[in-house]
Amino acid sequence: MQISSVKLRTPAFASPEFLSRRWLIKSHSLSLPNFHNAQKTASSSSSSSLKPLHISSGDCFALAGKAEKGTAVCKAYEADQSRPLEINIELPDQQEAAQRLKIGLYFATWWALNVVFNIYNKKVLNVFPYPWLTSTLSLATGSLMMLVSWATRIAEAPKTDLDFWKTLLPVAVAHTIGHVAATVSMAKVAVSFTHIIKSSEPAFSVLVSRFLLGETFPLPVYLSLFPIIGGCALAAVTELNFNMIGFMGAMISNLAFVFRNIFSKKGMKGKSVSGMNYYACLSMLSLLILIPFAIAVEGPKMWAAGWNTALAQIGPNFVWWVVAQSVFYHLYNQVSYMSLDQISPLTFSVGNTMKRISVIVASIIIFHTPIQPVNALGAAIAILGTFLYSQGKQ
């Protein structure tokens, strides 16, 4: 292989001592040590694995005490080839900037999809108060979307085995309970109230991990539980449309999702399934678990009567509401699991806290939810406690 030109896009001469000595290499035949390519391509497998490198010309090729940030571009060609090869080497700072941008896009998409889901979900439940069927349709739509994606090769199907599904089963049970409980809560109370109560999930996580798993946490984590629990209690006491079923649904959802996270951490160690496919498999297994219970609790007769009533009240737009809430439920969960592949659990918990703020504010504005100053203060204290919890875990 011969290097035809070597160019450095940004100046690499930061040292005065270097400028005074002017160490520039301009040689038309400089032999470098041999390099051995550990992974030989098919086209070069028959040739020698050891080839000398020769520099035919060098432009601004220098050694510097401290180089500026930039990108090094190397143009080279093999001895028996005429087509040049261009190699771009990105520096670490550029890679970190690209990663931050990617995570930011994940977060913005996650929050936006979650807000849209909660709005359409509440619209559906206001005229069609059957949370078990609504939850089933959400999981069924997401499962269908992923099956079509795998069949059309839009997404690569995961490689799973029996052990994978065994470890996924307790996760799916907890996910099903949490999903249905949250939907039951939103059918009975305002969306903002459900999410205020669900912001106490870190308190459940600490208590379950401490007393069932024996884990210990730093003192700031325990102290953060006081504003979380106190803020949620203050918001619940002053809630104008308080409903015990709605309150208990949000609390059960918190507990179920804590166990889901614990089972997921234990069961998925060493598994090479992406976040998107992992959630797809989770949705399918949860759907199979949920269907018989939904039929037993509500049943086709209640669904048919409620469906006809909703169509009479809303018209064809009701069908669009059902489709929208089902699609956006899957999309926001899928993006959240995809973001877990890119960020730490701590960053994810902070993002989850900010997501709840956006949902609470958007639902209050859209549904004109009446809220008292004391109620708003309780919500703010609970969310602040959740943020302090995430910082304390760091």
- On whether residue 117 sits in a domain, the answer given is yes
Verify that 118 and 242 share a domain, yes or no.
yes
Verify that 152 and 241 share a domain, yes or no.
yes
- On whether residue 11 sits in a domain, the answer given is yes
Chain segment 173-218, per-residue pLDDT in tens = 999 999 999 999 999 999 999 998 988 888 888 888 888 878 888 8
* Number of other residues whose CB lies within 10 A of the CB of residue 361: 13
Verify that 55 and 138 share a domain, yes or no.
no
Closest CA to 378 of 249, 238, 242: 238
Q: Is the pLDDT of residue 91 over 70?
A: no
Domain end, chosen from 63, 89, 115, is at: 89
Mean pLDDT, rounded, for 274-289 = 90
Summary mean pLDDT of the chain: 77
Q: Is the pLDDT of residue 7 over 50?
A: no
Helix or strand holding residue 73 (H, E): strand 72-77
- On whether residue 384 sits in a domain, the answer given is yes
Structure tokens that stand for 354 in this block = 């900010």
Burial of 230 (0-12, 13-18, 19+ CB in 10 A): middle
Residue 69 DSSP one-character state:
S
Give percent above pLDDT 90 in the chain.
34
Verify that 337 and 188 share a domain, yes or no.
yes
Strand 72-77 versus strand 50-55 pairing type: unpaired
Q: Is the pLDDT of residue 18 over 90?
A: no
- On whether residue 125 sits in a domain, the answer given is yes
What is the residue whose two structure tokens read 């109370």? Answer: 189
Closest CA to 254 of 347, 177, 169: 177
Q: What is the pLDDT of residue 63?
A: 45
Verify that 106 and 57 share a domain, yes or no.
no
- On whether residue 162 sits in a domain, the answer given is yes
Q: Is the pLDDT of residue 11 over 70?
A: no
- On whether residue 94 sits in a domain, the answer given is no
| Distance (Å, whole) CA 238 – CA 312 | 35
Domain end, chosen from 89, 122, 148, is at: 89
CA dihedral 165, 170, 172, 176 (to 10 degrees): 160
Verify that 180 and 37 share a domain, yes or no.
no
Verify that 146 and 217 share a domain, yes or no.
yes
Please state the domain count of the chain. Answer: 2
| Distance (Å, whole) CA 154 – CA 276 | 12
Verify that 71 and 163 share a domain, yes or no.
no
Q: What is the pLDDT of residue 349?
A: 64
Verify that 62 and 210 share a domain, yes or no.
no
Chain segment 318-370, per-residue pLDDT in tens = 999 999 999 999 998 888 877 766 666 556 666 777 788 888 888 888 888 88
Instruction: Say which range, 74-78, 221-225, 260-264, 340-344, has the weakest mean pLDDT.
Output: 74-78
Domain end, chosen from 62, 89, 116, is at: 89
In 189-274, where does DSSP find H-type helix? 191-198, 201-211, 219-237, 244-267
- On whether residue 41 sits in a domain, the answer given is yes
Range of the domain at 262: 99-393
* Number of helical H runs and strand E runs in the chain: 13, 5
Verify that 213 and 283 share a domain, yes or no.
yes
Verify that 205 and 167 share a domain, yes or no.
yes
Q: Is the pLDDT of residue 225 over 90?
A: no
Indicate the pLDDT class of residue 86, thresholds 50, 70 and 90. Answer: low
Residue 10 DSSP one-character state:
S
Q: What is the pLDDT of residue 8?
A: 45
- On whether residue 189 sits in a domain, the answer given is yes
pTM score of the predicted model: 0.71
Verify that 40 and 130 share a domain, yes or no.
no
